[in-house]
Amino acid sequence: MLTLFLEKRMRWIFFLVAATIGLTLDLGTKEWAFSQKELHSSWAAAYPVIPDWFDIQLSENAGAAWGLFSGKHTFFMVISIVAFIAIVYFVHTANEKARAAPTVLGLIFAGVLGNFWDRTVFGVVRDFLAVHTPETGTVHDFFEKTLGHTHWPTFNVADMCITCGAVCLVVIFWRDDRGEKASPAAPAAGPAAAPPPGEAAQPVGAPVGAEAPAPASIPAPSPLEGGAPGPSSQPGTP
């Protein structure tokens, strides 16, 4: 009984585990980063984790990614609530045996909730992860020519959960759609039709149009095999 109960709700278990892990990592890393005193000495100060590539740098974002729609606090709150409802609906309507999609939706839910918490409590989203290229070199020149910049806006773990989750969700839908097109359901084979009266059944594996074998003739029993006596065996015959 317990096993059956868990199987029917396994998609919710995967969803809640992923959401809990993602939200814990997001809020925990934010609290750690914004509690570092050396970073508060200068708001633009950066602590290099991987020199020339990755830094810890505090930032407060009142908009979306790349600082878009800055100051649209109410708009983002409404969008977050709509996202919560949509994600819960998709998990509820998912197949009971689904595992990947509920897990990915849990990560997206964690990311949306983490930034929603920041906007509710602090009025802004707390970012602290900064990625950039070295100041010189081939990689720097490539991004400078193609994108026009080599430093990206700061982000947080919640942004990573949303972005990675969205990409994984697209891959899952693409894989499922490709699998359905590659293996269409074959029609069920019905029972074999009986042959017309007086016609022998076609042997299995015989080529179409081949004549069915004629039924074997049964020879008449001979006298030696216990059959009826012949004229020569009647009494009184010389």
In this structure, are residues 147 and 191 in contact, taking their beta carbons and an 8 Å threshold? no
Number of other CB atoms surrounding residue 57 within 10 Å: 18
Cα–Cα distance for residue pair 153/141, rounded to 1 Å: 19
Catalytic residue among 26, 55, 127, 176: 127
Beta bridge partners of 48: 55
Q: Count, in order, helices (H) and strands (E) of the chain.
A: 7, 3
Cα–Cα distance for residue pair 219/74, rounded to 1 Å: 99
Beta bridge partners of 59: 127
First to last CA, the chain: 92
Told to judge if 141 belongs to the known catalytic residues of this protein, a careful annotator would answer no
Which DSSP symbol is given to 161? H
Cα–Cα distance for residue pair 57/28, rounded to 1 Å: 16
Told to judge if 52 belongs to the known catalytic residues of this protein, a careful annotator would answer no
Sheet of strand 54-61, all strands in order from the earlier edge strand to the far edge: 46-50, 54-61, 125-131
In this structure, are residues 158 and 83 in contact, taking their beta carbons and an 8 Å threshold? no
Q: Name the residue type at position 181.
A: K
Give the torsion sign (CA, 92, 97, 103, 105). negative
The catalytic site residues sit at 127, 159
